[in-house]
Structure 1
Amino acid sequence: MGELTVNTGNPELDEKVKEWLKWDKNEKTLSELQHLVEASQITSLEKLLLNRLLFGTAGLRGRMGTGYAQMNDLVIIQTSQGLAKYLVSVNPEAKQQGVVIGHDSRHNSHRFARLAAAAFLSVGVRVYLFGRIVPTPFVPYTVLQLRAAAGVMVTASHNPKDDNGYKVYWGNGAQIISPHDKGIQKSIEEQLEPWNGAWDLEHVASDIQVSDPLEDISQRYFSQLAASMLDPAANQASPLTFTVTAMHGVSHSYMVQAFQCCNFKPFVPVKEQMDPDPDFPTVKFPNPEEGKSALDLSFKAADAANSTVILANDPDADRLAVAEKQPSGQWKVFTGNEEGAILGWWLWHCSRQRTPPPPPSQCYMIASTVSSKILRAIAQKEGFNFIETLTGFKWMGNVAHNLLQEGKTVLFAFEEAIGFMSSSEVLDKDGVTAAMRLAEMATYLAKQNKTLTEKLHDIYKTYGYHVCNNSYYICHDQAVISSMFERMRNFSGPNTYPKSVSDGKFEVANVRDLTTGYDSSQPDQCAVLPVSRSCQMITFTFTNGCVLTLRTSGTEPKIKYYSEMCASPDQKDWGALEAELGQLVECVVHELLQPQKNGLIPRPL
């Protein structure tokens, strides 16, 4: 690159431009920045260079491109240098214990993983670097199996194709939480200049401190998965044919191995989505949570093969969507809360088949606060324990770890965004293990001439109907989002929240604000769950029993709402409950989110 004159009119920005040009060695991102300078795109330069991606949901996630506010080689190097320095400073054994690094099949993921490895090698930390793409749950699994000091997974999960991410696990096998996230962020800011050898990927390939754990870990993972099956012989004789999609991600070969080791017949693959493809050509959003819009090809493949159950992984295989063909010929796509209900029931059932079964008083299930309370209802009737955490598996994984350290049995954890932890060997969501749990349960039910849908209805009849109404709006303007939530906090004067919606028809009983720490239901008005000022989250409990949460996403430009009403087991009119919840949600959205006034974009159909 020739000499570039830098004079933006902003001295701070000029310094950042020069800094980037000095440090970045990637021709593509260097060229992008040079173009912005030559075109005098000052606003874009300020946005990209005067801001930095901060640790959010246990790491970084963002659009790939030039600048400190995006995902690129230089940001990966800086992040890894900061993490490496922090790790060895707080853990004297980290160099010997090592760090596990994996990656998905997105653009740049392979390269990002090796740039991360170079940073750890620079401070003398051994590296367990997966030689090819792996499911995200393989990283936390390997951290525990090899007693590593930490783990890094390069993935943006189900985000659009232009995004990538950097997910961090601690030595307990769970995603990092405070104070490590703050400590890592501070360390990153102290290690911005690339170290000697930071760009030397040839060194990574030849360093004796680097090893590939894939063969060993695969053998351990699938052996444990096979051993966890309730009745392998019954699996072999399953009357069902399963259809499986990898959603252009990493999971196909791993799901093949999972079906083999768990003694199932081969599944029907969705061939168009079977092979990894970072451009996700057949789906607008590579996210099976989007339901029918993401599963069209799965329906076609299943219909052609006379298959009645679909198992769909997201691109990094940590989540699982399930669909079942109905007698009408239509497909029912289970929500995450519905999957949580049937998986929770199944894992409780399986625990009773152990010899001896663990005492209910020592058993635990976990769900995030925005997920269905169906596990609580099951726990109350069956005698085991239920714990609610903040949103995200970083919270559930750490709670699970603490319980296991106390000698407790953790049977299951889930969140409504189709994330399921159905094995204590992985303290994070795991779409491969969850798929095998669903396949075994569907087989068990089919032999009783019962479907997953019918079992879900049985669960509601036994423990009470739980109806949920969840969705989201898209908003790219943080100022608009902040204004919306501040309006709710000062609704009829300073520090006042809405007392009702729909002209008093639906009255608010309690308000919990986990952004500020306020909870009107507590004697001291202080929230029990941890508070995070980095995201917006307000929960309204209405006098009719509805619990409704409004929150922003840590990884996407979304304002999400979650709502639920619960019936007692003897309440038969489920339709009336659904109608009441639908009307309440409509009023909350109209009066508090004000989509038209705030220019919010509805969830795509």
Structure 2
Amino acid sequence: MDSRLAMQLNAWLALDPDPRTREELQRLAQPGHEHELAARFAGRLAFGTAGLRGEVGAGPSRMNQLVIRQTAAGLGQYLLQQLADAKSRGVVIGYDGRLDSARFAQETAMVLTALGINVRLTRRVCPTPLVAYGVKHFGAAAGVVVTASHNPPQYNGFKVYWGNGAQIIPPHDAGIAACIEYAAHQPVTLQSLLDAEQNGQLQWLDDDFFQSYRDAIWQSPLLQADAADKTIGIAYTAMHGVGAQMAKTLLADAGFQQLYSVAAQEQPDGHFPTVNFPNPEEPGAMDLVIAEARQHHALLACANDPDADRFAVAVRRGDDYQQLSGDQVGILLGHYLLHKAPAHQRLVGTTIVSSALLEQIALAAGGECYTTLTGFKWLANVGMKQQTAAQQFLFAYEEALGYIVGSLVWDKDGLSALLAFAQMTAELTAKGMTIWQQLEAIYRQHGMYLSRQVSIALKPDTADIGAWLRQNPPTSIAGMTVLSVADLKQGQHIFADGRVEPIPLPSSDVLIYHLENGGRVVVRPSGTEPKIKCYYQLVEQLVAQDELVAAELRGNARMDAFVQLHQASLPQ
């Protein structure tokens, strides 16, 4: 072991309060583990707009007790610098059902209260959307959720909300990161939870807090149904997460009685024993809830991810079930809410990689649609900024199964999305319509927007793909004319006729090719490995004699060819 690494190791061991991670580092210090030990000290786990997320383990590049303490200290110092009333407004803290989440949440509370900052800490596991709700509900300075959402069992995270109830965006991410770096070189002071409770700095959030969210959902006009068939069957899974109790309660409050929960996945379990990857987007993750739906002949098979901020659904189609894409759910909910909301509440939002169909639906309904970079930190913060008294925020979504319904929670909320989708389905059923018939009606009016995401692995020696595309701009892709290119890195929208317009989005290494007939390709090169992500969109028109299934088959065949031709045009 070189002397520099030995100094880093000894300095860390002198501060690490956890016997388990100390022992882990001491094992790695033995001969034969030099590479792994060096990786643990190659840098700190980076703090960004999504907070922290990484594997649990020893050292500064992992999630552990010392990293949590230093992160909490940095956050606390930043709040004290930025907000004169940070101490009294305090921080709301919640946590999911992962193995270390409760301990990490309590450590955060002990650090913040030692800095004089009041803390409201949930006494039990808590869905992530409730913390975002709690920040606004209590007028807190910030919120923290200890969660790794739908990542594998070995991960955990530290997610931060600002006082507006939305995830942090620049410059707060860099400001907090700088304070964490400073805190990492200082002693971190703690206050016991008992002392904090006795001196009034710690308030436990119990049933009344969860009830307040339940009441707020119940009072939202957007989440009420008119003439509706509440006898529809709904199968549900929490995917070993924290959503089951609230999800079942909200559905029961709304009058749904035919509820069937997947018992094997209902209770929080950080080992996630029945799924390979606890993300409802992953193949196989919905198998148990679809089996539950099939057993009871339920209409819907619904899922939240483990921290209940995402929502997924499979819908009965003939004798089987088909999972809707995130874009399809977003389009259905957007259409439903735009036709339900008052005229002064029709501002909706989506992202650069999600379907452009929502914008067409909004325009037809007299609403407005804004587009942001990927991530709910942007969807929420831009939505707040763009809304006016005459055009209030209604709905936003991204294709990765995230949805905001109304402004009760300024982040994706899988619980309110679940209820909204159930209410929409119940209203359609009462009219004698299915979800598939509603999709077909939307497609007939606006065109069937088909989407696909593909990650393309390139050879290690392939040139910088982003630079290559900028140096060799295509005039057509898969036989379709390129009408314009939006280069988010350069901040320019370049049209085929030579016009150039500025793009009002933060800089990001993204190229968006707008093609004839509504086609689109979004290319996101990777700056660290020979790989790109491509998001494809085609618009298939339904003719009078078309059936939806036939149009889908035709559109998917076009999409297959589109993707293959585009990939073949890239440098190999």
TM over 0.5: yes
Pairs aligned (count): 563
- The verdict on how the C-alpha distance between 1:375 and 1:569 changes in structure 2, with shifts beyond 3 A counting, is farther
Q: Could you list the runs of 5+ residues in structure 2 that have no partner in the other structure?
A: none
The partner residue of 1:280 within 249, 268, 272 is 272
Q: Could you list the runs of 5+ residues in structure 1 that have no partner in the other structure?
A: 1-7, 352-356, 595-605
Structure 1 residue 509, shift from structure 2 partner? 4.2
Matched, 1:60 2:38: no
Amino acid at match of 2:326: G
Partner of 2:394: 411
Amino acid at match of 1:488: G
Matched, 1:529 2:523: no
- The verdict on how the C-alpha distance between 1:386 and 1:568 changes in structure 2, with shifts beyond 3 A counting, is farther
Contact 1:242 1:267 in 2 (8 A): yes
Q: Show the 5 A alignment for 1:67-146.
A: 67-146=59-138
Partner of 2:537: 564
What SS does the aligned partner of 1:450 have?
coil
Contact 2:25 2:58 in 1 (8 A): yes
Structure 1 residue 39, shift from structure 2 partner? 2.6
Amino acid at match of 2:413: D
Structure 1 residue 498, shift from structure 2 partner? 4.4
Inter-partner Cα distance in structure 2 for 1:574 and 1:98: 52
The partner residue of 1:457 within 436, 440, 446 is 440
Per-residue deviation, residues 512-570 of structure 1 (Å, max 9, x unmatched)? 343454543494575431114xxx5332333454211233799x999533111235676
Partner of 1:599: none
- The verdict on how the C-alpha distance between 1:539 and 1:376 changes in structure 2, with shifts beyond 3 A counting, is same
Structure 1 residue 41, shift from structure 2 partner? 2.4
Partner of 1:189: 181
What SS does the aligned partner of 2:340 have?
helix
Inter-partner Cα distance in structure 1 for 2:433 and 2:70: 54
Partner of 1:255: 247
The partner residue of 1:385 within 351, 365, 368 is 368
Inter-partner Cα distance in structure 1 for 2:110 and 2:488: 39
Per-residue deviation, residues 208-247 of structure 1 (Å, max 9, x unmatched)? 2111234333222111212235656855x51301001000
Contact 2:338 2:367 in 1 (8 A): no
Amino acid at match of 1:172: N
Inter-partner Cα distance in structure 2 for 1:48 and 1:373: 43
Structure 1 residue 484, shift from structure 2 partner? 5.7
Contact 1:506 1:584 in 2 (8 A): no
Inter-partner Cα distance in structure 1 for 2:571 and 2:296: 44
Inter-partner Cα distance in structure 2 for 1:593 and 1:318: 38
Amino acid at match of 1:335: S
Contact 2:91 2:142 in 1 (8 A): yes
Per-residue deviation, residues 266-287 of structure 1 (Å, max 9, x unmatched)? 5100111111110111111101
Partner of 2:291: 300
- The verdict on how the C-alpha distance between 1:592 and 1:558 changes in structure 2, with shifts beyond 3 A counting, is closer
- The verdict on how the C-alpha distance between 1:593 and 1:27 changes in structure 2, with shifts beyond 3 A counting, is farther
Q: Show the 5 A alignment for 1:305-384.
A: 305-327=296-318, 329-351=319-341, 357-359=342-344, 363-384=346-367
Matched, 1:499 2:474: yes
Alignment RMSD: 2.7
- The verdict on how the C-alpha distance between 1:14 and 1:526 changes in structure 2, with shifts beyond 3 A counting, is farther
Structure 1 residue 42, shift from structure 2 partner? 2.5
What SS does the aligned partner of 1:469 have?
strand
Inter-partner Cα distance in structure 1 for 2:290 and 2:268: 20
Amino acid at match of 1:583: A
Partner of 2:467: 489
Structure 1 residue 34, shift from structure 2 partner? 0.9
Amino acid at match of 2:144: V
Contact 1:241 1:307 in 2 (8 A): yes
Per-residue deviation, residues 574-605 of structure 1 (Å, max 9, x unmatched)? 655443332121233344385xxxxxxxxxxx
Inter-partner Cα distance in structure 2 for 1:382 and 1:424: 20
Contact 1:463 1:569 in 2 (8 A): no
State the percentage of identical aligned residues.
Answer: 36
Amino acid at match of 1:341: I
Partner of 1:9: 2
Inter-partner Cα distance in structure 1 for 2:75 and 2:256: 42
Inter-partner Cα distance in structure 2 for 1:177 and 1:123: 24
- The verdict on how the C-alpha distance between 1:500 and 1:586 changes in structure 2, with shifts beyond 3 A counting, is farther
TM-score where L is the length of structure 2: 0.91
Partner of 1:156: 148
Structure 1 residue 73, shift from structure 2 partner? 0.9
Inter-partner Cα distance in structure 2 for 1:73 and 1:342: 43
Partner of 1:5: none
